[in-house]
Chains A and B, each alone.
Chain A
Amino acid sequence: MTRRLPRKDVVVVGLGWTGSIVALELARAGLSVVAIERGPWRDTATDFNIGTAPDELRYAVRNDAFLPPKVETLTARNNISQRALPMRRWGSFLPGHGVGGAGIHWNGQTWRFLPDDFRLRSKIVERYGEAFLPADSTIQDWGVTYSELEPHYDRFEHVLGISGKAGNIGGKLQDGGNPFEGARSREFPTEPMAPSHAQNLFAKAAAERGLHPFPRPSANLSTAYTNTYGCKMAPCTYCGFCERFGCANYSKASPQTCVLPVLVREPNFEARTECEVTKVNLAPDGKQATGVTYVDAAGEEFEQPADLVIVCAYAIFNVRLLLLSGIGKPYDPQRNEGVVGRNYAYQCGAGATGFFEDTKFNPFAGAGSNATAADDYNSDNFDHGPHGFVGGASMSCGHSNGRPILYHPTPPGTPAWGSKWKRAVRDTYQRVAGVGAQGSVMSYRGNYLDLDPTYKDPLGRPLMRMTFDFQDNERKLSAWMALRCEEVAKAMGAKQVLTGKLTGPWSTVPYQTTHNTGGAVMGSDPKTSVLNRYLQSWDVPNVFVMGASAFPQNAGYNPTGTVGALTYWALEAIIGKYLKSPGALVPA
């Protein structure tokens, strides 16, 4: 028996970065807002106590902060000819869980995508011709431009207090910043973090090779900061417990440090945690959402009517909720029709591990986003003509951590256990620095998300099925970037360099990156996008979908900066246009 609850103006599905910002801004616009979050309430004061937060076994090995696969997992396969099997343990990526979502356990690398990234297809065709597009790719423009997003990037960065150095303010290049970045309206909120010895070696080597090194924009703050909402943050202590951990020092920007303290003070906001939204409900004509149905921890089912439904779960779970709710036409790769699940993409990596002599890098004094980067090989910052691939990668060097369980690099030829391994760990711990590349992944006809025909979740709903593999374009990019990383690592003085690049099919097992994108992409054409340029469903105009699910393809960066900018961009349209005249903001 479903209990029908009193109506709210807005229901927000998921209370991570996007959900907390949406809830706060809409509550402040005078709307009654309820956020429904599947996981538990989490707060710095109660959950990330400095005495227990830096527990590598609990959080980094046993994944305590992540979504338990028994709550929801997905099935995976490399291509349409295979049978997908469920991931019973997370590997390749680690979805967040609970209030704060992935904003709890992220490293904090907070990029702006480049102006070219938002009109990638147009740029490639203009510069190289249509034939240069990878086979079977479905690369498309975003329907929004960098300059439209700039004020919203700026707003998000000032909520987070991002530490960095501008490379371009109002079109004027700035010493020490990234000369390739789109023009900023002003400097970063806080100065860059202190560079490590390895970063200084990288900066020198990269500059000598004609690259343009700069401090990576960081949500681990260099200094104390009071954000635009009045929340306080403390300087990072470089403890190296960022990725997979909640920050106990109020130093890493998260919904907990930046948004929730003010959100919980809004009288017309309510959070319901440990409640899972099972469906966005639609009116009989399917053109209007009437609210959501959710199940609480006791298994009781509720209907929450609302005028506006904002879907703010993790990217791939946004897509699943749309599929389960019948919002938008599911993508069919055989016919290349439909949109929901289309253009799923990921991130590709490459890198070089340098083994040095007579040096001490002190990797334990690290931070998740403290690094020196170079963007010379990213996006379309270089001529792709001779290389035969599109896309690019940000290159960077920095120690995110030197934690005892998972950080023990050893030179090639070292046994995997025993006294020789121990000796190698001890001898090598201080002498390793890596140069890494985080690469773009284009969208392809055969990489997509749909509902699995076989496997179901505990509530009896089909799991999502992920069909994905790296394509030749990404393999070429990865192999080329591995060489570029190797060059810099050698120039840094490494005596021995090991390179890593994409090999074999995509595997669900080793951790790679939690940058899953696409599946509910934004765009200008309802035939190739789920959402219009304001992240509004083309089919059900009182449903908006936030998050990286909106990316038509992924860029060579971490997604969160762009996720935040798109959220404020969509909110401006919701508050400024939609609320005054509810309906489609862009005619279909």
Chain B
Amino acid sequence: MRAAGLVLLALLLAPVARAEDAQVARGRALATAGDCVACHTAPGGGDFAGGLALETPFGIIRTANLTPDKTTGIGTWSAEDFRVAMREGVRPDGMHLYPAFPYPYYARVAPADVDAIFAYLRTLKPVANAVDRDTLPFPYSIRGLMRGWNLLFLGGQPFTPDPKRSAEFNRGAYLAEGLGHCGACHTPLERFGSSNNAAYLQANRIAGWTAPNITADARLGIGAWSIEEIVAYLHTGANSTSLASGPMAEVVTHSTSQMPVEDLRAIAVYLKERGAAGAPAPAPVAPNDPAMQAGQAIFVDTCGACHGRDGAGVSGVFPRLAGNPVVVQDDPGSLARVVLGGARAAATSGAPTSPAMPAFGYRLDDRQVAAVLTYIRNAWGNAAAAVPPAAVGEMRSALVARAP
């Protein structure tokens, strides 16, 4: 009886209201795919209320309040205002946004999807949170400079499906190149902070982490992962090789683990099929190299109990090091960071354990960290450049500077 009553009630609802609800629901899903909440929420602050300090090569930028608060949020914006900001990086008052807000990616999002996100944001509880939006030093503090930047770098082209590709590939491309803005982290930046599209998805250093190559390159990218393994990684933060940590753990927690699996599969198909790019393997550092010898001894004492003497790791608990593309990226930044300061895997419903890598910076000096990293990058068939102690030292200084 009760179920029948509910059905009747549903039938009586105005069709307009239902269409609006559907738009809001779609907007929520799209905002999740875009991981808006990750950047637009400060630690301890309200969701979408902004204020997070983004580290850019040009200085700190604090993110905007996206709640419908009339004075500090976007409560007075129209849908068209929001469309312009998303597509062109310009606010209703004419103020230019910086591309730390990745509007060059969002320009590819379909206007109906942008409207849905706006409809969803309108349903949020308004939070009064005035954010200082002018924290960049001179000359980057001159927002008008962005006019020129936009002329040079802003593609502004909406996404158009490639008729030669499958619908799944095109769905993946639309998500990854648009809202997903994968390239914002995984593509190296040019001198003026634009993505270097010639090296699209070929790894980047951002906020002190290495965002690895995610092209289909078998050695450096995700080429050796099956579609299922890519989906597992995005859906749970873990697969048989890797665990998401650092900024990617946030992406998985807030965004990809909440997305429909079909969308994750589409992204996986896109990444696997769009092509490979990556340098060939260098000759490995010789096993008798002093750094390799020292590194092996440190590895056996300090790392092998969990990661295995053979570097095989334990699925879902300790990342595999042998044949793991993260280990052989050109930039050893994340590796140094994780050994020095530790890291924690994403916690998701599918992989709730969220294991941690402990920090070893307190008892391994820069030379020792460099040696053990050189070892894991050149053992078990891995091959990558030796890690200079100075690179570890720079990361240590950066971590100390970052420490609360």
Contacts and interface: CB of A to CB of B under 8 A. Distances in A.
Interface of A: 44-46, 49-52, 224, 226, 229-235, 237, 239, 248-250, 257, 261-262, 265
A-B complex: 4 closest residue pairs judged by Cβ atoms: A45-B356, A261-B352, A49-B358, A232-B316
B246 to A, nearest CB: 14
B346 to A, nearest CB: 12
Contacts of B314: 224, 232, 234-235
A224 B238 CA distance: 15
Contacts of B349: 230, 265
Interface string B353-364: 111101110110
A294 to B, nearest CB: 26
A46 B315 contact: no
Contacts of B352: 229-231, 261-262, 265
Nearest to A51: B358
A463 to B, nearest CB: 38
A250 B353 contact: yes
Nearest to A263: B352
Contacts of B306: 50, 234, 237, 249
Task: For chain B, give the interface size range.
Answer: 20 to 34
A44 B350 contact: no
B201 interface: no
B76 to A, nearest CB: 33
A49 B302 CA distance: 12
A262 B17 CA distance: 37
A44 B342 CA distance: 13
B38 interface: no
B317 interface: yes
Given A45-B354, A265-B349, 18 more contacts: A44-B355, A46-B356, A49-B358, A49-B359, A230-B349, A230-B350, A230-B351, A231-B353, A232-B314, A232-B317, A232-B351, A232-B355, A234-B306, A237-B306, A239-B305, A249-B305, A250-B355, A261-B352
13 contacts: A45-B356, A51-B360, A230-B350, A230-B352, A231-B353, A232-B315, A232-B316, A232-B351, A233-B317, A234-B318, A261-B347, A261-B353, A265-B347
B344 interface: yes
Contacts of A248: 358
Contacts of A257: 353
Contacts of B358: 49-52, 248
A230 to B, nearest CB: 6
A51 B363 contact: yes
A44 B358 CA distance: 10
Nearest to B236: A230
Contacts of B363: 51
Interface of B is mostly: loop
A277 B400 CA distance: 41
B133 to A, nearest CB: 34
Given A226-B316, A230-B351, A234-B317, A44 B305 contact: no
A45 B347 CA distance: 12
A465 B359 CA distance: 44
A257 B359 CA distance: 20
B360 A261 contact: no
Interface in B239-274: none
Most interface-central of A237, A249, A257 (chain B CB within 10 A): A249
A45 B306 CA distance: 14
Contacts of A233: 317
A51 B362 contact: yes
A587 to B, nearest CB: 34
Contacts of B350: 230
A24 B353 CA distance: 15
Given A49-B358, A224-B315, A237 B305 contact: yes
Contacts of A250: 317, 353, 355
Nearest to B316: A232
Nearest to B308: A235
Nearest to A49: B358
A52 B359 CA distance: 10
A186 B387 CA distance: 51
B329 to A, nearest CB: 25
Interface in B297-325: 305-306, 314-318
Contact of B359 (A51, A230, A234, A239): A51
B317 A261 contact: no
A239 B304 CA distance: 12
A249 B355 CA distance: 9
Most interface-central of A45, A226, A248, A261 (chain B CB within 10 A): A45
Most interface-central of A226, A231, A234, A261 (chain B CB within 10 A): A234
A45 B356 CA distance: 5
A224 B363 CA distance: 29
